[in-house]
A and B are shown apart, each in its own frame.
Chain A
Amino acid sequence: MLDVIDLNLEFHDHLVPETVVYDFDLHMEPGEIVGLVGESGSGKSMTALAIAGLLSRHDMQKRGQILFEGKDLLHCRRSELRELQGDDIAIIFQEPMTSLNPVYRVGPQVEEALRIHRPELSAEEIRQRAMEMLKEVDLEDAQRVYDSYPHQLSGGMRQRVMIAAAMICDPKLLIADEPTTALDVTVQAQIVKLLRRINREKKTAILFISHDLSLIRQLCKRVVVMQGGNIVESGTIEEIYEHPRMAYTKKLIAAIPGYEKKYDSGEPNLRQNEILRVEDVRIRFALERHSLLEKRKYKEVLKGVSLTVREGEVLGLVGESGCGKSTLAKVILGLEKPDEGSVFHQSQRPQMVFQDPYGSLNPARKVGWILEEPLRIRGGMTGQEKKQRVRFMLEKVGLEEKIAERYPRQLSGGQRQRVCLAAALMLGPRLLVADEAVSALDVTIQGQILELLFSLKKEMGLAILFISHDMRVVYQVSDRVLVMKDGLIVESGDVDDVYFAPKHPYTKELLAAAALQEEKGGERDAGTVLS
């Protein structure tokens, strides 16, 4: 059905032409699901766009062939391409919010492809079809969704709408470009299920593009691994996952977080003294009032949270977006005042490593200045001493001295996160709060940063509050774990107890969602317990 032969994509917007995809080959049969995996910058999205016929930039040179049922999409007329787009080939994207037109209602957007490709249908027939389609993607209240604007729906609903809009003409090929990356784990699992059902019932072939190897393994029969614009390796799931031939593939597969303890947190006998106690903290935010007369309503974000962190331990905190875990972090750090309850610190203020290494470093200042800032504020150090301390910390986090003279924007994501770590450790805190500290990074970099974090932890005897949505990473790093939902801690305990004998239904749901992306092989304990 689809044959991509020697596809080369080259940008010409710089002085030196930049090739983003080299000699890409792909063969797909009708009804097949093929995975395309790679880290950011591997060229996987460019390839997807090229196949969907969406690379029309003038400064881009495309060579090779993309044969869809024998027709070369790269060299056919635009009108011929347009006939296929939306009808036989459909695509969904990572960000459903921005992929939908914000100023139109959802209904007409779902219908659009049908209106273009089936002009013979009446408006009523088209509407009916759209309603059916919305129901088919498990949107219960189809009429309400039909009449909503994109911003009024949740992330999962928007992605369902995107799928409905893509599937409305019954395409033969659906290209899914990181369709679950922006979603919560439980929603992710639902979307993957939905895609699988569509593939089974409608025999739609799916080209599934993702950076998430466990997700690909779950969904696909065959997989293509890309790096830096090249195909590294391709084959069936078994071949690639069980017997990877290339070093890069091996590295990727090794980096998939599984249920194994990778990071040892050092001597347990240290963990006697409490260094942080949070008691029954409540926080509420005022909701917007609809009229001046209305009584002000509040939304409780934290509904009475208590926890303790002991010296030298790693406490994991898992929960989905909106559960209040970031607010809790702010309360602990003293960035937000609780309405009720109290926070006791044993030592000086805890420090924090943020999720987004792009936002947490002042873009207008050089790295050296940023690292010196805590010392300057504390005072009592000469310029020379400060410089020395900065050099020492940079070395500790594995960065070269000259980085101090750079601006944050000149660094890579991994380097920035190292700088953040150095900044947090500048004053020698006893407790570090890591809020999704590795979530924004590529898997291989993720591994390196965790490695670094734990070697520093052992060396300095730090305690860490590790906040994440990723069940597996939390398992790898934590001694104890807290599960949070809607502003409450629903379960807590030793990490093995919580993961292997969960008591609360929500914990079970989270683990099930994570297991869906989990490798099918039963070599790990977790797999057997959870299945």
Chain B
Amino acid sequence: MNLWNRLMCICRRRSPWLFHMNTGSCNGCDIELIASLTPRYDAEQLGVRLQGSPRHADVLCITGPVTHTAVQAIHTVYGQVCGPKAVVAIGSCPATTNVFIDSRVVVGPLNRHIPVDVFVPGCPPRPDAIVQGIAKAAEILAMRGDTETAVEASIAPDFKLETTEVRR
């Protein structure tokens, strides 16, 4: 790792920008994610910001049990986030599909579709837990090194990526 990459890694630990995606969530986790950015928990003063475009984001925050209609969008959005990237699954739904298990339209859990770095458990998790999860994702982001290795490192060995194209 050269000096420039090391500097970039230090920078990435600070101010992770988020893109939030709802894949059939009940709004509980979404509201708690917003609450973690607002004055009481105030992650925004540490530079954590919600971004409008996945191309501006470092961390992809996914809520919900992954419904059938959302799968293609997850792949598209995951491909659009520039590397190195980290994925935070907020709530019990993306981790285990929660109470919606056995539903015919729910195709979760999330790690069947994209690699997940941090799971924040809870239904819904408290805002401080979400902030902790994002902080952990920022650490992972900093360790991911440069763009080339980031995409390979983020994919588990036994993982088959279903999209044809991963844009970096």
A binds B: no
Q: Which residues of A pack against B, CB within 8 Å?
A: none
